[in-house]
Amino acid sequence: MRKWTSFPLKEGDVSRQAHADFPDSAIYEREAGRSGFFGPATHFHHRHAPTGWTDWQGPLRPRLFDFNNLTDNAGHSPWSVPNLLFNAHCKMRTWRISDRMERLARNADGDELLFIHEGSADLFCDYGHLEIRDGDYVVIPRSTMWRLEPKSDMTILMIEATNDSYQLPDKGLVGNHAIFDPAMLDTPKINEAFQAQYSEQSWQVEVKRHGQVSTITYPYNPLDAVGWHGDLTVMRINWRDIRPLMSHRYHLPPSAHSTFVAQRFVVCTFVPRPIESDPGALKVPFYHDNVDYDEVLFYHAGDFFSRDNIEKGMVTFHPAGFTHGPHPKAFAAGREYKKKFTDEVAVMLDTRDALEISEAAFTTENADYVNSWKAKP
């Protein structure tokens, strides 16, 4: 067993409460913490913005990708599109699909999380039929057979929990029904739509294992269950069903918005909420050091209030090793309390292990993103 060294200290001119009531001499707060936002932390107060660099050289840097510009992420199979950001425990891809899948998919490498960025579809799987739409998260347990019949063109964010599973976060003091009640989770039904797809015609299943795809042929449709019982199934929740934790006096860390948790990463959802109203409270995300986690944000909709010039379908990647936080314009607007409500929707992926960037992702990078924190003359 290990235990963090813990002896709270203070030095110089400081606030007693993190993220609030900063000293007049230093309005820029920086959090240096371990284990994401769950471990020990120190809060520094600076005279200048911690992101006020004038030059940046080397491979470690904040990155911006426009996944709308990908050219090889369309097709009938989710296994035909490339990984974009990945490590041994997590794979992120985007997938565009317009026509019905002619084969079933099965991921034997880990649970799959689909976030429906655009479009809608009928999903058929081992457990039955489920209608899905934009804004839905769909958790597909490892080795589940499934397919989609799109009702409109779809763009899907896919996050694989490699050799792992998705679970719900521990909601602690706020209780099991906060953020979203588990009763809000929808599951597939063996309904008329599912029964109508029973077939004695030949069907094939594409099984992904160790990143390689094998094809199994059946003389019938293997989605032929007539019933099931248990507590393992496909489940769906829409971001519109999420009721975010809020505090009018304190800016909550991203971990307060956790939606799904794996062993080596967490998926969070930022949804519209009131901005902190207390005069002394920080009203934008605080500057913080990425000490142990890589941070990825997929922008789904709205105006992300701590960033400039971000459009839906774009992705920011802030690897561990440097301080990041709001852009200068956003920080100034927060100080002036111009906005009273956020209207952003974004999916955050925080990984304990360093992510690699694929060649496909690099083709969409805006290399000037590192300069977006520079103060404008």
Binding site for Fe cation: what residues are annotated?
A: 288, 294, 324
How far is residue 8 CA from its own chain's centroid? 32
**Segment (H or E) for 131:** strand 128-132
291: which 2 tokens?
A: 């000490």
Known binding site: residues?
A: 288, 294, 324
Closest CA to 67 of 347, 276, 376, 353: 347
Contact 276, 176 (CB under 8 A): no
Q: Is 129 a residue of the active site?
A: no
Closest CA to 132 of 238, 232, 223, 224: 238
Q: Which of 43, 89, 117, 251 is catalytic?
A: 251
Pairing of strands 287-289, 294-301: unpaired
Lay out the sheet containing 314-318: strands in order across. 63-66, 314-318, 294-301, 345-351, 265-270, 258-261
How far is it, in rounded angstroms, from Cα 16 to Cα 74?
Answer: 52
Catalytically active residues, by annotation: 251
